[in-house]
Structure 1
Amino acid sequence: MKSTVEHLSPTRVRINVEVPFDELKPDFDRAYKNIAKQVKIPGFRPGKVPARVIEARLGRGVVLDEVVNAAIPNKYSEAVSGADDVTPIGRPDIEVTEIADNERLTFTAEVDVRPEIALPDLDSLKVEVDEVEVTDDAVTEQLDQLRARFGTLTGVERAAAAGDFVQIDLSASVDGKEIEEAATTGFSYEVGQGGLIDGIDEAITGMKADEEKTFPSTLVAGEYADQEAQVTVKVTAVKERELPEADDEFAQLASEFDTLDELVENLRERLGSAKRMEQATQARDRLLDQIVEGTEVPLPESVVAAEVDSRTHDAVHAFDHDEDRFAEFLTQQGKTREEFDTEAKDEAEKAVRYRLVLDALADKEEVSVGDQELTERIMYQAQQYGMAPEQFVQQIQQAGQLGAIYQDVRRSKALITAVRAATVTLPSGDVVDLSDLLGSDDDVEVTDPTADEAPSTVEGEVVDSTDDTADAAGDKDDDKAGDAAAAKA
């Protein structure tokens, strides 16, 4: 097989492939066997029809079509594997240019590829993070939250206020029609908690037991989602939370410490650790922004288009793909469809740009992912989705997303490597040592970059990835948005 690569742009190539018919013999054998199983010809058992009879009855063209359709994906993958510095990140457009029977098959494949990106020297990068400051008020707030976990509820005769617990009955109607699924009784709710129904806190505040109030609110789910309803709330009880005294006895009840001072000191240390983790997150996010802003990143059109389609699909999916309802929602938000489309494209371009930079960084630093690291990420994501690990693995394998998870972990490690190499400072100019949070250089697994790449996230949420292998219909683009800090999605 012969193949050549034409670079049409920094992000797109045309691969020209010529395959001698001698190399297609296994494909012809499979084609005859497949066709023989599908046709019924008198005098021959199913699957036992000779090749010459198949061609005589069905024509040579039927056989050639079967051979070409089966051979092109494999020959395309072969050509990609043999091409230097060509990493497809989209579905190829394949065109058969010649079928010279018994001589050769030629075809072209145009596909978007990962562009070459010139990254800055990591050792020259410098990023500033906020000071770690643990105030007495912050410690007191943590202590009060702990006390609240051991608090008791006592009924009161007064009106409900923020922080109180109320027992309520709820009902709702749209245009006078009662909504059965929106009704509930005896529901316990903390005033000021939020997240239940818009306007509920304002309505309940100041109400006493056995009082009732009706207020307008927009429903967020069910058959009447995004429609304005009249919500009626009746308070049946108001309870005040009484906190235990903050003393040594409470410290012994709520922790492993014997004294309140020891507990408070532990809370202060934990807050300090959390603040240092925030520093590491700041360093990660700000460094990635700095690298991307200072790097020229050509954007593959098909990958951006796929990302736009994915974001649009997800947005409309929330409205059961009802374009009219989605348009109504946009109007309520004071936004036109054109503005939404523009924002979707801007966000898609940003997400793809960040992913490409992280992939280039991972390549430059020769980052790979071990089995244990991949397993840990899968376990973490399974937990986030509330699924058994085995069930989660089965689903991501069926969806072809295992490679996406691998790539996400790889990007995460690449970014951590960059933070480790850069200089992190405080506003005062003092250098911050985050090595205890980021690990050492020895913690990053480095392998031969020419070795076969296993299926590859920036740490945290979920980042998109690109699958670099083509299937029969073309390259499977596994770009899915991921870690908010990494993908900026």
Structure 2
Amino acid sequence: MATRTQLSDATALDLPEAPRWRTLRLLLSKKIAVVCILVLVVFYGAAILAPWVAPADPNEQEFTVEAARAGPSAEHWFGTDQLGRDLLSRVIYAARTTVLFTVAVVITGGLFLGLGLGLLAGYRGGWVDNAIMRLGEILSGVPVFFLMLIIRAAYRERTNDLAFWLKENTFLGADAPPLVAFVIITGVAVPFVWVGLARIVRSQVLAIREQEFVLAAEAMGISTPRLLIRHILPGVMPIYLVGLSASMAGFAFVELGLSWLGLGVDPSTPSFGSMINAAGGVRTFEAFPHLLSSPPSPSSSSSSPGTCSAMPLLTSSNRARTGAEPAQAVTGESRILDLRRHGGPVKVTLERLPESRVQLEIEVEPDRLERSLDAAYKRLVPTLKIPGFRPGKAPRPIVERMVGRERLLHEALDALVPAVYSEAIESEEVEPVADPELEILETEPVRFKVTVPVRPTVTLGDYETIRIAPEPVEVTDEMFDEQMELIRRRFATIAPVERGAQWDDILTADINGTVDDATFVQDEDVEFPLREDQRLLLPDLAEQFLGMEAESEKTVELPVPEDFPEQFANKTASITITLKAVKEEELPDEDDDLAQQVNAEEFETIDDLHERVRNDLQETLQRQADEAYRLKVVDELVGLSEIEYPQVLLDREIDELIRESHGSDVRAYQAHLAQIGKTTDEFREMYRDPAYQRLSRSLVLGELTNVEGIDVTEDEIGEQVEKMLEPLGEQAESMRTMFESDRGSASIRNSLLTDKTLARLQEIASAEPEEEEAE
């Protein structure tokens, strides 16, 4: 058997190129990548080295007429501003302000909070994941820019007083005002930057943690921190870095906007926003175009911090509980609606279509159109310059000849069609769940057709007849013995042995492998138990350790299963094993001493421990069985019911599933599609069946809630809040405000409604014959 030294000597010239050097080489081979790196190096280098790079003091003023807003010259490359200050120096220092702010916010909130909470939520799951994601949902609804605006405006005098006191009474001196402003806006921004990044990280962790190499690492007994850092984090970083860069650009806009309004960093600190404000905005650039030659900042990214968010309709069980009945349109009926109070009669034909859609064909009477044309003329005429007439005084026939009747008609329809549509759906009590599809049939007279997605219709089957017997759960001896063995292993003694490795030994080894010269696995000094019933990274790899002694080495060729990443799947891996230590695990006896080792205050005898283990196993099995039973009963109700819904709701449900799994960052989503080699349509199709299942369950549960008259009281919501706060310890009070907010209370209410409805359905389905007769 080759020793480690011999193998190293034999393969010294054949080692594959290290991944980091290969990545760097590939990166530098792309011209666009090199250009981007150079731009970033120049910009960030100038920002970081501003005191040494800037040609002048950015706040030094020249009080002469000639010096104010001077053009570019040998002395001032970018010219000067209205106070005679050197613009190049101010641009460099403004870049420094932007870089410091974005780095402080994104590193603090994005790296520590975003990455940390995302890893924790994705890997731990359960109530940890639920608490982090619900907190993220609450924070995502807060308009960060306006919150910072309000705080800076409301507490400006107090912060100025604090800055003045620090300036006069501490070593900070003149640095106190800019430092206070910087800390305040950074501190407000940090709690919000992590939300989107944590979702991205969580979605990647959820995708990675079920892969075989992670399961194998868990089976090897690798600690959770090592597992997250060495095995999961590398797969998360590419997508995470894309989201991180987008966040930096977005928060650069936040700093720019606050400074432009005079509420950002201290006025003595140069920033792009305050420079634009002081220069007079766009009008200054029109008068002094040379100022546009200043280099771009990170805030010139195409990303924007302003986001438009909307709560999707009917994508969980609470979305179908409004109690409103869908519009019952009369098919093919044509009549004059009484809409005179809105401006004139309108002829409407309603027709109910499949998939919960209503089609309205609307014809506007000529008098109504004429009034709309006249209103359009009055809006249009002030914008026109017509020879021989004062602005806004040209008569309509002249305007119509000049711009054309088609333009005037178009202007009228832009206001008339939405108004008439709103009047029609209000009169007929049609409740749209999405924007309508519009088709203009004629313009004179105005006749158009709209197809409106409306609320789903759910006709429940005879759910009172559902009978599904719950499957009993039982803690078997095998389950109990397995749990007790895990407890004994927690308190086992481990000692080195001088023999070949056997099952259940604890091994320390280096495991390195390649597939087609690409690194497949690279674990150094990994310690793991050698279990006969657990897979170790690859099938048959665990068997290769049997009989090996400490300080021995071997290389084996093993096939890679098809469930590995495409780069490695169905290929052969060359695995080099260097066994460093073999230790024997000696389990303690299953007696009273073991029980007291576990918890001396709770367990006096081994019987006490046995009872606790059996009870815990029983509770776990029962909880899992209840969840599976409830889903089975709901699916039975779905099968009995007739559900009709607009396609847009299914599309929204798909969007919601993708957003939950992969976050809402578009660039990160596109990067993920490229990574897995799928188009958007192909990727969405993967979520169609799960989305339909969740939507149909949601709709029937919502209808059952209404039919059964199930509701939740404020006391029940309060009790649930206290239950959720109990495990949070010191953070409980800070979380209470969020849980008790309108949005938090609504979320808790909907969750309780779901639980109550499921409990009622379970009660019906599991009713015994004696109970039925009693009813």
For the aligned pair, the TM-score class normalised by the smaller chain equals: 0.5 to 0.7
The residue identity in structure 1 corresponding to 2:528 is Y
Partner of 2:567: 224
Distance 1:416 1:322 in 2: 43
Q: Distance in 2 between matches of 1:64 and 1:277?
A: 65
1:418 is aligned to 2:757: no
CA distance in 1, matches of 2:566, 2:466: 53
What's the offset of the Cα at 1:246? 2.3
Aligned residue in 1 for 2:597? 253
Counterpart residue number, 1:12: 357
Aligned to 2:700: 357
User: In 2, distance between residues paired with 1:359 and 1:149?
Assistant: 47
CA contact (8 A) 1:165 1:241 kept: yes
- Secondary structure of 1:120's match? coil
Match status 1:174 vs 2:515 = yes
Specify which structure has the higher proportion of strand.
1
Amino acid at match of 1:245: D
Counterpart of 1:182, as a letter, is V
The alpha carbon displacement at 1:419 in A equals 1.7
Task: Determine if contact 1:171/1:184 at 8 Å carries over to the other structure.
Answer: yes
Q: Report deviation, 1:275.
A: 3.5
Residues 245-394 of structure 1: pairs in structure 2 closer than 5 A: 245-255=589-599, 256-298=602-644, 300-304=646-650, 320-322=672-674, 325=677, 349-367=692-710, 372=717
Amino acid at match of 1:296: E
Offset, 1:7? 0.6
Alignment of 1:131-210 (within 5 A): 131-175=472-516, 177-179=517-519, 182-192=521-531, 197-199=537-539, 201-208=541-548, 209=550, 210=552
Contact 2:511 2:575 survives alignment (8 Å): yes
5 Å-filtered alignment, 1:391-406, equals: none
- Structure 1 window deviating more from structure 2 (263-272 vs 409-418): it is 409-418
Q: CA deviation at 1:243?
A: 2.8
Amino acid at match of 1:283: Y
CA distance in structure 2 between the partners assigned to 1:76 and 1:194 by the alignment: 65
Q: Give the C-alpha shift of residue 129 in structure 1.
A: 0.9
> Please, which of 424, 437, 448 is the counterpart of residue 93 of structure 1?
437
| Matching residue's letter, 1:199 | P
Q: Which amino acid aligns with 2:495?
A: T
Cα distance change, pair 167–262 in 1 and its aligned pair in 2 (3 A): same
Structure 1 residues 261-300: Cα deviation after superposition (integer angstroms, max 9, x where no partner): 1221122222333333244224312211221222233464
Q: Distance in 1 between matches of 2:542 and 2:709?
A: 56
The one-letter amino acid paired with 1:213 is T
In 1: Cα distance, 2:750 partner to 2:586 partner: 50
CA deviation map 1:430-481 (0-9, x unaligned):
879xxxxxxxxxxxxxxxxxxxxxxxxxxxxxxxxxxxxxxxxxxxxxxxxx
Q: TM-score, normalised by structure 2?
A: 0.39
1:241 corresponds to: 585
Contact between 1:171 and 1:178, CA under 8 Å: does it hold in 2?
no
1:183 aligned partner, one-letter code: Q
| Residue in structure 1 matched with residue 553 of structure 2 by the alignment | 211
Residues 592 and 604, structure 2, Cα contact 8 Å, conserved in 1: yes
Amino acid at match of 1:353: S
Matched residues in 2 for 1:121 and 1:211: separation? 68
8 Å CA contact retained: 1:166, 1:239: yes
Name the CA shift for 1:411/1:61 in 2 (closer, same or farther; >3 Å): farther
Q: Render the CA deviation track for 1:385-417: whole Å, top value 9, x for unaligned.
A: xxxx99xx9xxxxxxxx9999877755543333
SS of the equivalent of 1:153 reads strand
Structure in which a larger fraction of residues adopt helix = 2
| Aligned AA (2:439) | E
Q: Deviations over 1:7-35 (max 9, x none)?
A: 1125322245678689999x98xx979xx
> What's the CA shift for 1:217?
1.8
Could you say what secondary structure the match of 1:94 adopts? strand
3-state SS, counterpart of residue 618 of structure 2: helix
The 5 Å alignment of 1:64-79 reads: none
Match of 2:469 in 1: 128
Distance change (3 Å), C-alpha of 1:161 and 1:21: farther
For 1:240 and 1:344, how far apart are their aligned partners in 2? 48
User: 2:515–2:568: 8 Å Cα contact kept in structure 1?
Assistant: no
Mark the CA change 1:281 to 1:147 in structure 2 (over 3 Å): closer, same or farther: same
SS at 2:585 equivalent: strand
Measure, in 1, the Cα distance between the counterparts of 2:686 and 2:576. Answer: 38
Q: For the structure 1 residues 108 and 136, does the alpha-carbon distance in structure 2 shift closer, same or farther, using more than 3 Å as the test?
A: same
Work out the CA distance in 1 between the residues paired with 2:465 and 2:642. 18
Alignment of 1:22-101 (within 5 A): 83-84=428-429, 88=432, 92-97=436-441
Tell me, yes or no, if the aligned pair for 2:560 and 2:569 is still in contact at 8 Å.
Answer: no
TM-score, L = length of structure 1: 0.57
> Is contact 2:463–2:640 with CA below 8 Å preserved after alignment?
no
CA distance in 1, matches of 2:633, 2:758: 9
Cα distance in 2 for partners of 1:260, 1:133 equals: 21
Shift of 1:233: 3.9
Structure 1 window deviating more from structure 2 (89-98 vs 4-13): it is 89-98
Q: 1:61 to 1:291 in 2, by over 3 A?
A: same
Alpha carbons 1:18, 1:106 under 8 Å: kept: yes
Provide the C-alpha distance between the structure 2 equivalents of 1:283 and 1:96, rounded to a whole number of angstroms: 51
C-alpha distance 324-266 of structure 1, shift in aligned 2 (>3 A): closer
Q: 2:457 matched to which residue of 1?
A: 116
Give the direction of change, closer, same or farther, for the CA distance of 1:80–1:240 in structure 2 (3 Å limit): farther
The answer (yes or no) to whether the contact 2:355–2:647 under 8 Å persists in 1 is no
| Unaligned ranges ≥5, structure 1 | 42-48, 328-336, 384-388, 394-401, 433-489
Show the counterpart of 1:455: none
Alignment CA distance shift 1:349-1:259 (3 Å)? same
Corresponding pairs, count: 381
Conserved in 2, the CA contact under 8 Å of 1:168 and 1:233? no
Pairwise CA RMSD of aligned residues?
5.6
The amino acid of 1:228's aligned partner reads K
Deviation at 1:128, TM superposition (A): 0.3
Looking at structure 2, the residues matched to 348 and 68 of structure 1 have their Cα atoms a distance apart, in angstroms, of: 38
